């Protein structure tokens, strides 16, 4: 898993590339929670995810809950087919804010 963390239009964009599993999920969780500590909204670009399992989903849930508590926006952008499949299996596709692209996410609802 490779994480590319960027700032864009006042948002923190965390691009998540490759496989998010038990080995890598702790690093994703830390990157997301660290980003949220800055007080800005976070966009997670899931378009380059080739695999994600329950440990990766748990990292997203934890960050989502932290964002809600802190009053920050937390948006998933352009989930790849494997990511979309797992979000749907977890019935989270209607819980998370999901945008078609990072650009769409920065433009808000």
Partner 1 sequence: MTISLLDRRFAARPEHLGDIRRAVSEAARRAGCDDEETGDVVLAVDEACQNVIRHGYGDAEGDVIVQMEIADTSLIVRITDFAPPVDADILHPRPLYEMRPGGLGLHFIRSVMDDIAFLTPPEGAGNLLQMIKHVGARA
Residues contributing to the site for partner 1 (CB under 8 A): 19, 21-23, 51, 53-55, 57-58, 82, 85-86, 89-91
∠ CA 15-33-90, nearest 5°, is 70
- Burial level of 46, CB count in 10 A (0-12/13-18/19+)? buried
- The least distance separating partner 1 from the CB of residue 64, rounded to whole angstroms, comes to 14
For partner 1, which is the closer residue by CB, 8 or 88?
Answer: 88
For partner 1, which is the closer residue by CB, 42 or 59?
Answer: 59
- The least distance separating partner 1 from the CB of residue 69, rounded to whole angstroms, comes to 19
> Which two structure tokens, joined as six digits, stand for 42?
């976070």
- The least distance separating partner 1 from the CB of residue 22, rounded to whole angstroms, comes to 4
For partner 1, which is the closer residue by CB, 2 or 89?
Answer: 89
The DSSP line for 17-49 is: EEEESTTTHHHHHHHHHHHHHTTS-EEEE-TTE
């Amino acid at each position: 898993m490779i994480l590319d963390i960027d700032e864009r239009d006042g948002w923190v964009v965390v691009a998540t590339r490759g496989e998010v599993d038990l080995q890598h999920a702790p690093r994703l969780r830390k990157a997301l929670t660290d980003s949220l500590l800055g007080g800005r909204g976070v966009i997670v670009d899931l378009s380059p995810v080739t695999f994600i399992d329950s440990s990766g989903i748990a990292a997203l849930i934890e960050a989502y809950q932290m964002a809600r508590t802190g009053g920050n926006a937390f948006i998933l952008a352009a989930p790849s087919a494997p990511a979309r499949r797992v979000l749907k299996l977890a019935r989270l596709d209607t819980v998370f804010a999901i945008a078609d692209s990072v650009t769409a996410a920065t433009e808000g609802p």
